[in-house]
Chains A and B, each alone.
Chain A
Amino acid sequence: MLRGYLVSQGERGQERRVPIGPSITLGRAVDCGFIIDDAAASRRHLRIATEGERFVWKDLGSTNGTQLNGQPMLEGVLKNGDRLQVGETVMRFEIEDITDEEPKESTTIFKETIVDWQQEGLGEQIGEKEERAERLLRAVYAVMNEIASNYEPCPLVDRILETTMKAIDAQRGSVVFAGEDKSTIEPCPVCHKFHVIQQGRLTHVEEREFHISNTVAHRVLKRGESLLFQDTDRDSELNVSASIMSLRLRSIICVPLRGKFGIFGLLYIDSDRAGHQYTHEDMLLTTAVGNSAGLALENATMHGQILEKQRIDQEIQHAWKIQEGFLVRQWPEGDGRFQVYGETRPAKTVGGDFYDFVQPDANHVGILIGDVSGKGVPAALTMAQLLAEFRQGIHRTSSPSAVLQILNESLVQRSPKGTFCTLCYLVLNVSDGHVVCANAGHHPVIGIGKNGVRVFGDASGPPAGILPTCRWKDTETQIGAADTLLLFTDGIVEARAMNTQRAGEDEIEDFGMERLCEALKGHYRSTPRELIERLNQKVMGFCAPVMPHDDCTLIAVKYLG
């Protein structure tokens, strides 16, 4: 009779050899007979089946495919020494003739005993039984005390483990958490490591250094019942479990950790020491701990989440203050040649909108508007960096497109790959109304004058921060006395409202360019500030009762002539 084996190399070079049996599924999921700890592995990646003397394998529609001896393949018959590869993980296939082997090697690895601790306590052992009961109570009491005084999830996990393991003299134990669909186990959600106590020593280890019986973990997560395994047990399902065999485990206690919303983790204890068997009593104690510890851990995690949220909220407040500090708040007054005003109304999170006003020389004023992709602190920092470079850059060149080029180079070099920034910079000669503007992927400029509203200065290239050698064009135009130029960001034109006018059909509608231009028509006499306040009111009214979802930023300059 032939038997197939899969052999793989562990982290530290140790070999893992798993018998194939009638069939075996390989994949990332914990209930696979052979778990492939590789990001490229699908949950159920491939399957090998024994068909008489043949070993047939088939890829189960995996995402990243399987290689047989270096060739991508979908199925086939395995030969001795074949190499199956999934991602970085290589498994060697071996065939052994087991016809002559003594049956005990393959079928009676685990011998029979019946666990019944109540029977064990007869006669002279009664005193010992009382002692055990007291030990159990003490242990539960100790854990409860720890739970009552500990609000930090990580130390709480450690204390639960320490007190439980001390009480039952356990060899190795861990608290593990359930993955989303309860088919995987995860490390501590706070420190992202597995809390493990081994030979009395507490460590926090990475996933790759941590192996438990996945069959047991999976079963307890699914069924929600505590489990005691002894290698002397006749439980056939567990006896053939590849993980128990490959880890050479002799005894396991695994109990569910229950919170308000069900099972979220496991208290897992095992031993690979010969003759070291956990008892039914040990399991009762662990279960008692598991029941209370679950709630306590859940509370501690929630407490931690609240603190974390408060911390993030504070951070966002800080970021917003930093951002505000960079934006112009004092607008020049009393220069008879122009008026200027700008403002940004941030959405819930800190966004990447910004504006700036500069006076490169006595006869020119410049307004800049930009929108950094993304939100939060990274966007605020990118914005701060861009503004600093902008204020230096305007003294190096008078051409708006050349200024954009400077900002582009800096952004391409320094920021993360997904970060880019739409920018529009326009310079007005306040002595003659001549305007030069350059636009990198931003909305065009709106000119408001006696003769109506016009749109010009369309983007002449993509946003800054994408292509290292991008060039933009300067667009020139002439405006008359009392004309106003307005720059705005996405938040204005993409402000969304639910349109319920059509019967039974809700439709989301954008504020859009048309409404924007319409709102400005006939308002050429307004100051920049009045125009911007009017627009903000229009947008708020449009979105009501909800607030605009994105930052609304506007800046305008009026040429007085």
Chain B
Amino acid sequence: MGLEIERKGADGACTLVVRGEVDLYSSPDLRSAITKAMPKFGGSVSVDLRGIPYMDSSGVATLVEGYRTAMERSTAFILLTPSQSVLKVLQLSRLDTVFTIRNEA
């Protein structure tokens, strides 16, 4: 199943709305979208995760990579409204303590 990634908002403060399963095969798409959205310095990147029914460890690795790149560039990296299953994966591995997670209605 392919991944749909929609980019919203201005450069330097955009939101990636991701829909579909993030696994070993689709996570490279997410990775490249995050890389492209990442400002050279400052700003923010938000990843909207409400449309993800399943995410495996390669998806988590992609988010971690985004997080670490963002740290280096003083960019805010925000996970928006993760679905229950994604939140479970993050909570289980205690990554919920690492990421900034925001819930939007």
Using CB atoms and an 8 Å cutoff, list the residues of chain A in contact with chain B.
63-65, 72, 371, 373-375, 416-420, 422, 440-443, 459-463, 466-467, 490, 494, 508, 550
New contact pairs (15) apart from A373-B60, A418-B68, CB-CB < 8 Å: A63-B36, A64-B11, A65-B10, A374-B58, A416-B65, A418-B65, A420-B64, A441-B94, A443-B92, A460-B94, A463-B95, A466-B68, A466-B95, A466-B98, A490-B56
Q: Is A466 touching B67 in the complex (CB atoms < 8 A)?
A: yes
Q: Using Cβ atoms and an 8 Å threshold, which residues of chain A touch B98?
A: 462, 466-467
B19 proximal to A (CB < 8 A)? no
Contact partner of A490 (CB less than 8 A), chosen from B31, B57, B68, is: B57
Please, how many angstroms separate the alpha-carbon atoms of A451 and B60 in the complex? Answer: 36
Q: Is B56 touching A494 in the complex (CB atoms < 8 A)?
A: yes
List the A residue with the shortest CB-CB distance to B31: A418
Q: How far is the CB of A73 from chain B (nearest CB, A)?
A: 12
With contact pairs A418-B61, A418-B64 given, residues A65 and B94 touching in the complex (Cβ less than 8 Å) = no
Using CB atoms and an 8 Å cutoff, list the residues of chain B in contact with chain A.
7, 10-11, 24, 31, 36, 54, 56-58, 60-62, 64-65, 67-69, 92-95, 97-98
The 8 A-B pairs of least Cβ separation, nearest first, read A418-B65, A441-B93, A373-B61, A417-B68, A459-B94, A418-B61, A462-B94, A417-B65
Q: Using Cβ atoms and an 8 Å threshold, which residues of chain B touch A419?
A: 61
- Chain B at the A interface: SS class: helix
Q: How far is the CB of A287 from chain B (nearest CB, A)?
A: 38
List the B residue with the shortest CB-CB distance to A63: B7
Please, how many angstroms separate the alpha-carbon atoms of A508 and B92 in the complex? Answer: 20
Q: How far is the CB of A72 from chain B (nearest CB, A)?
A: 7
List the B residue with the shortest CB-CB distance to A496: B54
List the A residue with the shortest CB-CB distance to B37: A63
Please, how many angstroms separate the alpha-carbon atoms of A418 and B11 in the complex? Answer: 24
Please, how many angstroms separate the alpha-carbon atoms of A359 and B60 in the complex? Answer: 33
Q: What would be 28 A-B contacts, judged by CB atoms less than 8 Å apart?
A: A63-B36, A64-B11, A65-B11, A72-B11, A373-B61, A374-B58, A374-B61, A375-B58, A416-B65, A417-B69, A418-B31, A418-B62, A418-B68, A420-B61, A420-B64, A440-B94, A441-B94, A441-B95, A459-B92, A459-B94, A461-B94, A462-B93, A462-B94, A463-B95, A466-B67, A467-B98, A490-B57, A494-B56
List the A residue with the shortest CB-CB distance to B67: A466
Contact partner of A442 (CB less than 8 A), chosen from B24, B54, B93, is: B93
Please, how many angstroms separate the alpha-carbon atoms of A508 and B21 in the complex? Answer: 12
Q: Using Cβ atoms and an 8 Å threshold, which residues of chain A touch B24?
A: 375
Please, how many angstroms separate the alpha-carbon atoms of A550 and B24 in the complex? Answer: 11
Q: Using Cβ atoms and an 8 Å threshold, which residues of chain A touch B57?
A: 371, 373, 490
Please, how many angstroms separate the alpha-carbon atoms of A420 and B90 in the complex? Answer: 14
List the A residue with the shortest CB-CB distance to B62: A418
Q: Using Cβ atoms and an 8 Å threshold, which residues of chain A touch B97?
A: 461-462
Q: How far is the CB of A452 from chain B (nearest CB, A)?
A: 22
List the A residue with the shortest CB-CB distance to B98: A462
Q: Using Cβ atoms and an 8 Å threshold, which residues of chain B touch A550?
A: 56
List the A residue with the shortest CB-CB distance to B96: A462
List the B residue with the shortest CB-CB distance to A513: B92
Q: How far is the CB of B96 from chain A (nearest CB, A)?
A: 9
Contact partner of A422 (CB less than 8 A), chosen from B58, B67, B68, B93, is: B93
Please, how many angstroms separate the alpha-carbon atoms of A443 and B93 in the complex? Answer: 7
Please, how many angstroms separate the alpha-carbon atoms of A420 and B10 in the complex? Answer: 31
List the B residue with the shortest CB-CB distance to A416: B65
Q: Using Cβ atoms and an 8 Å threshold, which residues of chain B touch A418?
A: 31, 61-62, 64-65, 68
Please, how many angstroms separate the alpha-carbon atoms of A25 and B39 in the complex? Answer: 27
Q: How far is the CB of B75 from chain A (nearest CB, A)?
A: 13
Q: Using Cβ atoms and an 8 Å threshold, which residues of chain A touch B36?
A: 63
Please, how many angstroms separate the alpha-carbon atoms of A375 and B24 in the complex? Answer: 9
Contact partner of A373 (CB less than 8 A), chosen from B7, B10, B64, B67, is: B64
Please, how many angstroms separate the alpha-carbon atoms of A13 and B67 in the complex? Answer: 39
Q: Using Cβ atoms and an 8 Å threshold, which residues of chain B touch A494?
A: 56
List the A residue with the shortest CB-CB distance to B21: A508
Please, how many angstroms separate the alpha-carbon atoms of A121 and B65 in the complex? Answer: 68
Q: How far is the CB of B64 from chain A (nearest CB, A)?
A: 5
List the B residue with the shortest CB-CB distance to A493: B92
Please, how many angstroms separate the alpha-carbon atoms of A440 and B31 in the complex? Answer: 24
Q: Using Cβ atoms and an 8 Å threshold, which residues of chain A touch B7?
A: 63
Please, how many angstroms separate the alpha-carbon atoms of A460 and B92 in the complex? Answer: 10
Please, how many angstroms separate the alpha-carbon atoms of A141 and B54 in the complex? Answer: 57
Q: Using Cβ atoms and an 8 Å threshold, which residues of chain A touch B11?
A: 64-65, 72
Q: Using Cβ atoms and an 8 Å threshold, which residues of chain B touch A466?
A: 64, 67-68, 95, 98
Please, how many angstroms separate the alpha-carbon atoms of A371 and B89 in the complex? Answer: 14
Q: Is B61 touching A462 in the complex (CB atoms < 8 A)?
A: no
List the B residue with the shortest CB-CB distance to A40: B36
Q: Using Cβ atoms and an 8 Å threshold, which residues of chain A touch B62?
A: 418
Please, how many angstroms separate the alpha-carbon atoms of A420 and B62 in the complex? Answer: 10
Q: How far is the CB of B34 from chain A (nearest CB, A)?
A: 10
Q: Using Cβ atoms and an 8 Å threshold, which residues of chain B touch A441?
A: 92-95
Please, how many angstroms separate the alpha-carbon atoms of A64 and B24 in the complex? Answer: 27
Q: Using Cβ atoms and an 8 Å threshold, which residues of chain A touch B61?
A: 373-374, 418-420
Q: How far is the CB of B53 from chain A (nearest CB, A)?
A: 9
List the B residue with the shortest CB-CB distance to A467: B98
Please, how many angstroms separate the alpha-carbon atoms of A442 and B95 in the complex? Answer: 11
Q: Is B94 touching A373 in the complex (CB atoms < 8 A)?
A: no
Q: How far is the CB of B37 from chain A (nearest CB, A)?
A: 9
Q: Using Cβ atoms and an 8 Å threshold, which residues of chain B touch A417?
A: 64-65, 68-69
Q: Is B65 touching A463 in the complex (CB atoms < 8 A)?
A: no
Q: Using Cβ atoms and an 8 Å threshold, which residues of chain B touch A508?
A: 54
Q: Is A373 touching B58 in the complex (CB atoms < 8 A)?
A: yes
Q: Using Cβ atoms and an 8 Å threshold, which residues of chain B touch A64?
A: 11
Please, how many angstroms separate the alpha-carbon atoms of A467 and B95 in the complex? Answer: 10
Contact partner of B93 (CB less than 8 A), chosen from A63, A374, A416, A463, is: A463
Q: How far is the CB of B22 from chain A (nearest CB, A)?
A: 13
Q: How far is the CB of A240 from chain B (nearest CB, A)?
A: 34
Q: Using Cβ atoms and an 8 Å threshold, which residues of chain B touch A490?
A: 56-57
Q: Using Cβ atoms and an 8 Å threshold, which residues of chain A touch B54?
A: 508
List the B residue with the shortest CB-CB distance to A444: B92
